[in-house]
Amino acid sequence: MEQIKTDILVIGAGSGGLSVAAGASQMGAGVVLLEGHKMGGDCLNFGCVPSKALIASGKAAYGQSHAAAYGVADVMPQIDYAAAKDHVHDVITQIAPVDSQERFEGFGVRVIREYGQFLSPSQVQAGDHVITARRVVIATGSSPLVPPIPGLDGVPYDTNETIFDLRDKPDHLLIIGGGPIGMEMAQAHIRLGCKVTVIEGMKALGKDDPEAAAVVLDTLRNEGVEIAEDALAAQIRGQAGAIEVAAQDGRIFKGSHLLMAVGRKANTDTLALEKAGIETTRTGIQVDAALRTSNKKVYAIGDVAGGLQFTHVAGYQAGIIIRSALFGLPSKAKTAHIPWATYTDPELSQVGLTEAQAKERHGETVEVVRFDYHHNDRAIAERKTAGFIKVMVVKGRPVGVTIVGYQAGELINLWSLALANNLKMSQVAAMVSPYPTIGEVNKRAAGAYFTPRLFENQTVKRVVRFVQRWIP
Ligand X SMILES: NC(=O)c1ccc[n+]([C@@H]2O[C@H](COP(=O)([O-])OP(=O)(O)OC[C@H]3O[C@@H](n4cnc5c(N)ncnc54)[C@H](O)[C@@H]3O)[C@@H](O)[C@H]2O)c1
Ligand Y SMILES: Cc1cc2nc3c(=O)[nH]c(=O)nc-3n(C[C@H](O)[C@H](O)[C@H](O)COP(=O)(O)OP(=O)(O)OC[C@H]3O[C@@H](n4cnc5c(N)ncnc54)[C@H](O)[C@@H]3O)c2cc1C
Closest residue to ligand Y, Cβ-based? 14
Strands 242-247 and 252-255, by their bridges, are antiparallel
Site for ligand X in 184-243 (CB under 6 A): 184, 199-202, 206-207, 232-233
Q: What is the rounded CA–CA span in Å between residue 126 and residue 385?
A: 54
Span of 6-14, 219-227, 234-242, 390-398 interacting with ligand Y by CB under 6 A: 6-14
17 lies in the site for ligand Y, by CB under 6 A: yes
Contact region with ligand X (CB under 6 A), list: 19-27, 166-174, 209-217, 255-263: 255-263
Asked if 158 and 179 touch (Cβ cutoff 8 Å), the reply is: no
CB 91 within 8 A of CB 48: no
Q: Does 302 bind ligand Y (CB under 6 A)?
A: yes
- 415 counts as binding ligand Y under rule CB under 6 A: no
Binding partner of 200, given ligand X, ligand Y, none, CB within 5-8 angstroms per partner class: ligand X
Q: Does 40 bind ligand X (CB under 6 A)?
A: no
Question: Which region, judged by CB under 6 A, interacts with ligand Y, from 7-15, 200-208, 233-241, 422-430?
Answer: 7-15
For the four alpha carbons of 301, 134, 119 and 293, in that order, the dihedral sign comes to negative
**Cβ–Cβ < 8 Å for 40, 96:** yes
Per DSSP, the residues of 114-162 read: S-EEEEETTEEEETTEEEEEEEEEE---EEE-----TTGGGS--B-TTT
Whole-number Å distance between alpha carbons of 265 and 268 = 9
Q: Which helix (H) or strand (E) holds 408?
A: helix 408-420
Q: Which of residues 58-117 bind ligand Y (CB under 6 A)?
A: 115-116
Task: Identify what 34 binds: ligand X, ligand Y, none; CB under 5 to 8 Å per kind.
Answer: ligand Y
- Stated length of the chain: 472
Q: Is 312 in the site for ligand Y (CB under 6 A)?
A: yes
Binding of ligand X by 345 (CB under 6 A): no
Q: Does 270 bind ligand Y (CB under 6 A)?
A: yes
The smaller minimum CB distance to ligand Y, of residues 21 and 369, is found at 21
The answer to whether residue 13 forms part of the interface with ligand Y (CB under 6 A) is yes
Helix intervals (H) in 168-296: 180-191, 210-223
Closer residue to ligand Y, CB minimum distance, 88 or 314: 314
Q: What, of ligand Y, ligand X, none, does residue 440 touch, CB below 5 to 8 Å by kind? A: none
Minimum Å gap between C-beta 231 and ligand X is: 6
Site for ligand Y in 318-347 (CB under 6 A): 343
Cα separation of 469 and 416, whole Å?
Answer: 44
Enclosing H/E stretch for 371: strand 366-372
| 13 touches, from ligand Y, ligand X, none (C-beta below 5 to 8 Å by class) | ligand Y
> Residue 182 binds what, of ligand X, ligand Y, none (CB under 5 to 8 Å, by partner type)?
ligand X
Residue 307 interacting with ligand Y (CB under 6 A): no
Q: Residues 160 to 179: which contact ligand X by CB under 6 A?
A: 176-179
Compute, in degrees rounded to 10, the torsion defined by CA atoms 96, 101, 106, 111: 150
Query: Could you give the 3-state DSSP secondary structure of residue 79?
Result: coil
Q: Of all helices (H) and strands (E), which one includes residue 62?
A: helix 48-65
Q: What's the start-to-end Cα distance of the chain, in Å?
A: 90
Q: Which of 93, 81, 225 is nearest to 167 (CA)?
A: 81
CB-nearer residue toward ligand Y: 11 or 276: 11
Count of residues that bind ligand Y according to CB under 6 A? 38
Q: Cβ(262)–Cβ(176) under 8 Å?
A: yes
Which of ligand X, ligand Y, none lies near 170, with the C-beta cut-off 5 to 8 A by kind? none
Site string for ligand Y, 186-205 (x = CB under 6 A): --------------------
Return the closest-CA partner of residue 292 out of 338, 265, 323. Answer: 323
What is the pattern of x (binds ligand Y, CB under 6 A) and - over residues 25-54?
---------xxxxx--xxx--xxx--x---
Q: Least separation, in Å, of the C-beta of 450 and ligand X? A: 32
41 binds, among ligand X, ligand Y, none (CB under 5 to 8 A by kind): ligand Y
Binding site residues, ligand X, CB under 6 A: 147, 149, 176-182, 184, 199-202, 206-207, 232-233, 261-264, 309-310, 340-343
